[in-house]
Structure 1
Amino acid sequence: MDSPKQAVCSAEKELGRMRTQFVEKVTAENLTQLLEALVTDNVLNELEKERIQEMNQTRADKARDFIDTVKKKGEKACRIMISHLRTIDPTVSCQLGLSSGPSAPLGCSSMCQNNHKSVLKKKFQCVFEGVARAGNPTLLNQIYTELYITEGGTAEVNQEHEVRQIETASRKPYRPETTIRLEDIFKGPPGKEQPVRRVLTMGGAGFGKTLLTQKFTLDWAEDKTNQDIQFIFPFPFRELNVLKEKKFSLVELVHRFFTETKEAGICRFEDFQVVFIFDGLDECRLPLDFHSTEILTDPRESTSVVLLLTNLIKGNLLPSAHLWITTRPAAANQIPSDCVDMVTEIRGFTDPQKEEYFKKRFTNEKRSSRIISHIKTSRSLHIMCHIPVFCWITATVLEHMLRTTEVRKLPKTLTEMYIHFLVVQVKVKKVKYDGGAETDPPWSPESRKMIESLGKLAFEQLQKGNLIFYESDLTECGIDIRAASVYSGVFTQIFKEERGLYQDEVFCFVHLSVQEFLAALHVHLTFINTGVNLLEEQQTDKHFYQSAVDKALQSPNGHLDLFLRFLLGLSLQTNQSRLQGLLKQTSSPQTNQEVVQYIKKKLNENLPAEKSINLFHCLNELNDRFLVKEIQQALSSGSLSTDKLSPAEWSALVFTLLSSEEDLDEFDLKKYAASEEALLRLMPVVKASNKALLSGCNLSERSCGALFSVSLESSNLIELDLNNNDLKDSGVMLLSSGLKSLQCNLHILRLSGCLITEHGCASLATALRSNSQLRELDLSYNHPGEAGEKQLKQLRMDIRVEPSGEQWLRPGLRKFLSTHNRHKHSK
C-alpha cells in the first residue's frame, strides 16, 4: 500500500490555521493552565501573563491575545504551546487537529502504534472457537486453517438458504483458481491495475470471515505483515448497532473503541495509513443510506454513525483510508457496486482443508483418521463440513463420543449430530455446574427450561431473520436479560454473549444451523405439548409434518430447508429416545411412513430441482433411502431405462448424480437418453459439470432456453457440445444472450450442423464482441452467408465455419444424405 502524503507545515502555521477554533473552544480554566505552563517554560514572562488576563474582559479576547502573543515568539514557542495544549486538553487538541505531524512530540505516534498493537494482540491472540467467553481459549495461530480467498466479481445478492449454496458449491468440479493471500487483500489479484481501497468479502455463516479479519489484524500486530499500515481499527457491526441514536465524529468514534489513540492525542488520521475493518454487514441494523446527498469530509465533525459510515465507504471522509467489509451473501447488495473496488469470496473448507482441520484438532492420528473416515461415509455431513463451524460442532460431538462408551453408532444424519451436540452441552453443564457425573441423566427441570426458552428465542427470531439479539429482542420473547446471561454462561457452546462498546450485551447462537435446530425443536415441543402448530397462523386438520413440508416448499429461497430436515428428523422414535427427559415419544413408524409417502407424492409433482434435492435430504433424515438406492443399483448394473421414469425417479437420478463422490467433469446425455425431456430433467447435472456433451440428442430451441438460464447462473460449464441438433437461429439467439453474462465461463462451443443462418451468426458475433470468455467456436455445416462469415472472422478466437452453405439448412438426417461430404462430416 502507498503511504498518504505527510502534512508538512510549521507549528507557527498550525497555530494560524486553528486560531479561530482555538478561541472558540478553549475554556477559561485551560487558558489559565496554559499561561502558567508557558511562564514556567520561560516562553512568556509574568508581565505578559498579567496583561493577557487583565487587559481583556472576555474569555474569547484573552484566548485571541494569548495565541497572537505566542505566535510572535516564533516556532519554538509555538511547539511548546501545542505540546502543553495536548497534555492539558487532548480532546480540544484533537478537535483542532494538533495531534500528529510535525507538531507532535517525536515518537508520540510510534508509541501509540505500539500500544495499539499490544491491545489488538491481547484481543486476538486467543480465540474461543465457536464458544462464548466462558469457554476454553485457543491460540488463533495454532488452529487457523488457511481459507481460500478468491475474487468474486460482483456483489450480486444471493437470497438462497446458505445450505443450498453450500450444496451447490460442493458439486462444483475442482478447477484451479487464482487466490488472494490474506496479507495481500488490498493488492488484489495479479493484473489488477487500479488501486484497491474498499474490499467486500462474502462468505456464508460460519465460513470464517471474522476469524479471517482477526488473523489479518493479529499478523499486523505481531509485526509479521503489512508494516506499511500504521493503524488497523476493527469495528463489528453488531457493536455499532447500539450507537444508532448517538452522534460522533470519526475521531471520537475511534477514540471510544480504541482509547490508546485518545490518550496519545492521535486524531489527524489523514496523516496515517489506516485500515478500517467492518465485520458482519449482514448483522447491521443501521439504516445505511447511500443515496443521501449529505456530504461529510471532516473527521472531527460530529454526526450520526450512519452518515459516518456511508461517507467513509463512499470516500468522502478520509479518502486515503482502506476499508474491509465482510458479509454473508444475502446482505452484499446493501453497498452499491460503485462503492466497492473489489469483491472477494470465502468458499469455506475444501475437502483437503476439512481433513487438515481435524488433524489439527486431534493430534491423535488414529482418532483423527477415524473421524475423517466416518464423515466421508455420510454425504450430508461431508457437505456440511464445508462450513468451518460445522467442523467444530462435529469435532465436539465425536470427541465426546469417542472418549466415552458411546461408540457403538456415530451420528450419520444432521439431526442425530445436533441432538448429540445438544446432549453433550447439557452433560457438560451437569458436570461443571451441578456437580453431577457424566453417566447421570442429562435433563433437569432447570436445563429443560433453559432449552425451551432458547428454542422459543431461536424460532421467533428466525422468523424475523435475526441472527443477533439485543435486550429488546430478548424481552419480546419473554427472556430476562439476566437469564440470557446465565444461559450464555452455562451453554457456552450453544448461546454466546458478547460485550461491546459501553459493555452492551449482544447475544447470538454459535451458528445459524444451531438456531434452526433449536427452532425446529421448539416447534416440535409446542405441537407435542399443546397441539398447536406454530407453522400455521390458522390451525387446520392437516397433518403436522405434512403442513411443514408444504410450508418449506412454499419458500422461494429455501429458507426453511434445514429447519424442515431437523423437524422431520425429530419425528423419528430413535431420535426422540436420544432426547428422553426433554421429549415425549409420540411418533410411530406409521406416522413416519405417512410422511415418507407424502414426500414421495410431492416428488412426483415436477418440483424445481433444489426443492426436490432438499426433499431427498429429508428422506435421508427419515432413514428412507429406497428411491435413491433403486436408482444407484440400476446405474451400477447398467439397467437404467429412462423411458418410464416417474418425476420422483428422475429427481432421484439427479440427486444420485449430484451426490456422487465422482467428479462431475463430463456429462454425456446419451448415457441416459438422447432426448430433450432427459436434458431438461437432468439440467442441474449439466449446471454442475465442466463439459456437457449433447450432440445429436434431438434438441430444439426449448433446450437453448434452459441452457441460457444455466449460463446466467453457473460459471462451471467450460465446454458445450451441441453439434447436430436443430437449434436454428431462434435457439442460437437465446444462447447468445447467455454468452454476454458475466457468470458465463464457456471456453468451447460446438454448433456444427444446427441449421444456423446469417441472423444467428450475427447474434453470436454481437454477443462475443461485448463480453465472452469463448476461445473456440465451431459453426461448420451451417449457412452464415458472406456477411455472417465476415463478422465472425473479426473475432479474436479459433472459429471454424467451413464447410458452409444453404444445403446444410435441411433439418434432421436429410442434410447428410444430400451431399457427398457425408463421410467428411462424420469425422
Structure 2
Amino acid sequence: MDRCKDREEGVPPSKTTLCGEDESQTKAQRNQPGSPPSSVSLKSDASNDRYIHFKVQPLSAAERVDQESSEVPSGQSAQQNKTHLDSIFMILEDKIITFVKNELKKIQRDLGADDLECLKSQCKDEEVLLGKDEEQSKNIREAFVTITLDFLKRMKQKDLVEHLQRRASTRNLQWHQHKFKSAVKKKFQCVFEGIAKAGNPTLLNQIYTELHITEGGTAEVNDEHEVRQIETASRKPDSLEAIIRHEDIFKASPGRNEPIRTVLTKGVAGIGKTVLTRKYSLDWAEDKANQDIQFIFPFTFRELNVLKEEKFSLVELVHHFFTETKEAGICSFKDFQVLFIFDGLDECRLPLDFHKTTILTDPRKSTSVDVLLINLIRGKLLPSARLWITTRPAAANQIPPGCVDMVTEVRGFTDPQKEEYFRKRFRAKEHISIIISHIKKARSLHIMCHIPVFCWITATVLEDVLETREGGQLPKM
C-alpha cells in the first residue's frame, strides 16, 4: 500500500504493473498451476495495457534504417559505415580515373589534329552529347578543360595553353552554333502552303521545287502590271540570262572578282521569295550548303515594323529575335561570317531615308531600327556581313542602287518545274498526268502556274474535284 501511496504522490514506481506487486511476482503467480486469475481493476495502468490496443503506424524507410542502426552495437555500426564508405570511394576513384583518361585522350587528339580533323572530332562529340543531359555534359567537359589549363599553366606549357584555349573557344562556338541551327531548322522545316499558319503544315524538303532565278536587272520600278510581267518573263529565252541556283545566290558569276555583299531579289507576289529564303536557311541549318557562314539571321519587315518606336543596338536586335546568341554570350559579330536576311521590303513601314540618316558604325550603340537598317545596308555598320533583301518590284527603288552588289529576279517555275511540283504535290499518282495535261490545254492557267502559289491553288482545287466529283471529270476550260 505504501507503493500505491507513493505512486499517487508522484513517486515513479519501478516497473510496477499492479499496486503492491512486482512484475516478476505477478508472472510467477500466473504460471503457477491452479492459481486463480487476477482480478484487475479497469482503472489501473495494467488493465489499459491489457485490453486497449492502439493501431501502430508503419515505419518509414528512414525510420527503419535508424531503428536497425540503433539495434547494432555502436562499434560494429561505425565499422560497417567505414567499410561501406571505403567501398563507395574505391568505385568513385575508378570512375574518375577512367573519365580523366578519356577526356585527356580527347584533348590530346584535338591538340595534335589539324582544323579539319578537329572539326570532325568535335562533331562526333556533339553527337554523343545529344540527349537529355547534353547541357550538363557540356558543362562537365568545360570544367575539365579549365582544370587541364590550370595544370598546364603550372607546368609552364604556354604554347599548349594557348592552343587549347583556341580549341576550347572553337568548340564552344560550334556548340552554340549547333543549338542555333537546331532552332532555325525547327522554325523552317515546315511550311503552310498558300495561307500562312493555316491548314496542315508540310515538310519543306518534301515539296520544295527549284525556282527559276535569274541574275541581272536593276532596282528600278516596273510599272507594268504583275500579271503582264509574268507573261513577259515566261516568253524570255533562258539562254540569254544567267540562271542561279538558290544555294549559290552569293556566288559571283565568272569574270566577276569583287565579293558580293548585298543581294536584292525581286519577284511578284506569290512567286516564292519567302519560301526561297527559308529553303536557303534550312539547307544551312542542316549542313547541306553555305557552311562558310557561321550564323544566318532571317528577319521579316513585318516583324521589324512592330519595333518602329523602339531603340536597339544591332547586337540587342539580334539578341531580341535570336535568344540563342544571347545565351551564348555573343556580343560582337565582326569575327564571324554572318548573313542578314530581310524578307518583304514591300511591307516595310519604317522611314528608310538614306539621305538624312546619320552614320553609325558601333554595333553596340542603341538607335532606332530604321537607322540600324540603313547603316547596315550602306555598309557602315558591320561591313563584313552579307545582306539579302527580297521585295516585290514596285518597292525595289527604296534601296539606292549603289548599296546593292547584285540584283536577282525570281521568275517562278519553268514548264518542267511546274510538272515537278505537281509530281511532288499529289498523293494519288494516277492524277498527275491528268492534271498536267489539263493545265497545258488552258493557256491562261498554264501561264499563271509560273507562280508557285497558283500551282498550289490549282493542285488543291483539281485534287478535290478528282476525289469528290462523280466520275472524276475536270471542269472544261
- 1:279·1:325 contact (CA, 8 Å) conserved in 2? yes
Name the residue aligned to 1:248. 312
1:159: how far off?
2.3
Indicate yes or no: 2:244 matched with 1:180.
Answer: yes
1:393 corresponds to which of 449, 453, 457:
457
- 1:121·1:218 contact (CA, 8 Å) conserved in 2? yes
Name the residue aligned to 1:776. none
Q: How has the CA–CA distance of structure 1 residues 380 and 102 changed in structure 2, closer, same or farther, with 3 Å as cutoff?
A: same
Cα distance in 2 for residues equivalent to 1:166 and 1:407: 35
1:185: how far off?
1.2
Indicate yes or no: 2:392 matched with 1:297.
Answer: no
Q: How has the CA–CA distance of structure 1 residues 376 and 105 changed in structure 2, closer, same or farther, with 3 Å as cutoff?
A: closer
Letter in 2 for 1:323: L
Cα distance in 2 for residues equivalent to 1:246 and 1:138: 35
Name the residue aligned to 1:145. 209
Q: Deviations over 1:57-98 (max 9, x none)?
A: xxxxxxxxxxxxxxxxxxx9xx9xxxxxxxxxxxxxxxxxxx
Indicate yes or no: 2:300 matched with 1:258.
Answer: no
The CA RMSD measured in Å over matched residues stands at: 2.2
Cα distance in 2 for residues equivalent to 1:297 and 1:174: 42
Indicate yes or no: 2:270 matched with 1:206.
Answer: yes
Indicate yes or no: 2:468 matched with 1:404.
Answer: yes
Indicate yes or no: 2:334 matched with 1:270.
Answer: yes
1:149: how far off?
1.7
Q: Deviations over 1:94-116 (max 9, x none)?
A: xxxxxxx9799563322211111
Name the residue aligned to 2:406. 342
Name the residue aligned to 2:261. 197
Letter in 2 for 1:374: H
- 1:180·1:188 contact (CA, 8 Å) conserved in 2? no
Q: List alignment gaps of at least 5 residues for structure 1.
A: 1-40, 42-75, 80-100, 414-827
SS in structure 2 of the partner of residue 189 of structure 1: coil
1:153: how far off?
2.9
Cα distance in 2 for residues equivalent to 1:184 and 1:245: 36
Q: List alignment gaps of at least 5 residues for structure 2.
A: 1-146, 148-157
- 2:176·2:324 contact (CA, 8 Å) conserved in 1? yes
1:346: how far off?
0.9
Letter in 2 for 1:273: Q
1:408: how far off?
6.9
Cα distance in 1 for residues equivalent to 2:394 and 2:223: 5
Query: Where do 1:95-494 residues align within 5 Å?
Result: 107-173=171-237, 175=239, 177-405=241-469, 410-411=474-475
- TM-score with structure 1 setting the length: 0.37
Q: Which has the larger radius of gyration?
A: 2
SS in structure 1 of the partner of residue 331 of structure 2: coil
- TM-score with structure 2 setting the length: 0.63
How many residues are treated as equivalent by the alignment? 316
Q: How has the CA–CA distance of structure 1 residues 103 and 265 changed in structure 2, closer, same or farther, with 3 Å as cutoff?
A: farther
Cα distance in 2 for residues equivalent to 1:104 and 1:335: 41
1:407: how far off?
5.7
- 1:125·1:139 contact (CA, 8 Å) conserved in 2? yes
- 2:294·2:338 contact (CA, 8 Å) conserved in 1? yes
Q: Deviations over 1:470-490 (max 9, x none)?
A: xxxxxxxxxxxxxxxxxxxxx
1:226: how far off?
1.1
- 2:215·2:241 contact (CA, 8 Å) conserved in 1? no
Q: Deviations over 1:173-232 (max 9, x none)?
A: 453632122222111222221110000011111111111111111111011111111000
Cα distance in 2 for residues equivalent to 1:288 and 1:367: 49
Cα distance in 1 for residues equivalent to 2:358 and 2:278: 33
- 2:357·2:371 contact (CA, 8 Å) conserved in 1? no
Q: How has the CA–CA distance of structure 1 residues 344 and 407 changed in structure 2, closer, same or farther, with 3 Å as cutoff?
A: farther
Q: Deviations over 1:627-686 (max 9, x none)?
A: xxxxxxxxxxxxxxxxxxxxxxxxxxxxxxxxxxxxxxxxxxxxxxxxxxxxxxxxxxxx
Name the residue aligned to 1:610. none
Letter in 1 for 2:368: S
Q: How has the CA–CA distance of structure 1 residues 103 and 368 changed in structure 2, closer, same or farther, with 3 Å as cutoff?
A: closer
1:285: how far off?
1.0
SS in structure 1 of the partner of residue 309 of structure 2: coil
Cα distance in 1 for residues equivalent to 2:357 and 2:469: 66
- 2:307·2:369 contact (CA, 8 Å) conserved in 1? yes
Letter in 2 for 1:377: K
SS in structure 2 of the partner of residue 107 of structure 1: helix
SS in structure 1 of the partner of residue 458 of structure 2: helix
Q: Percent identity?
A: 75
Cα distance in 2 for residues equivalent to 1:246 and 1:179: 40
SS in structure 2 of the partner of residue 235 of structure 1: strand
Q: Per chain length, whose mean CA-contact separation is higher, i.e. which structure has more relative contact order (CA < 8 Å, sep 6+)?
A: 2
Name the residue aligned to 1:679. none
Letter in 2 for 1:108: N
Name the residue aligned to 1:683. none
1:359: how far off?
1.2
Letter in 2 for 1:367: H
Cα distance in 2 for residues equivalent to 1:134 and 1:338: 40
Name the residue aligned to 2:70. none
- 2:360·2:372 contact (CA, 8 Å) conserved in 1? yes
Q: How has the CA–CA distance of structure 1 residues 156 and 406 changed in structure 2, closer, same or farther, with 3 Å as cutoff?
A: farther
Q: Deviations over 1:494-533 (max 9, x none)?
A: xxxxxxxxxxxxxxxxxxxxxxxxxxxxxxxxxxxxxxxx
1:281: how far off?
0.6
Cα distance in 2 for residues equivalent to 1:267 and 1:411: 60
- 2:212·2:411 contact (CA, 8 Å) conserved in 1? yes
Q: Deviations over 1:278-309 (max 9, x none)?
A: 00111111111111240000000000000000
1:148: how far off?
2.0
Q: How has the CA–CA distance of structure 1 residues 298 and 180 changed in structure 2, closer, same or farther, with 3 Å as cutoff?
A: same
Q: Deviations over 1:361-408 (max 9, x none)?
A: 125343111111111111111111010000000001001110012567
1:339: how far off?
0.3
- 2:231·2:447 contact (CA, 8 Å) conserved in 1? yes
Cα distance in 2 for residues equivalent to 1:136 and 1:112: 31
Cα distance in 1 for residues equivalent to 2:395 and 2:256: 26
Cα distance in 2 for residues equivalent to 1:298 and 1:407: 68
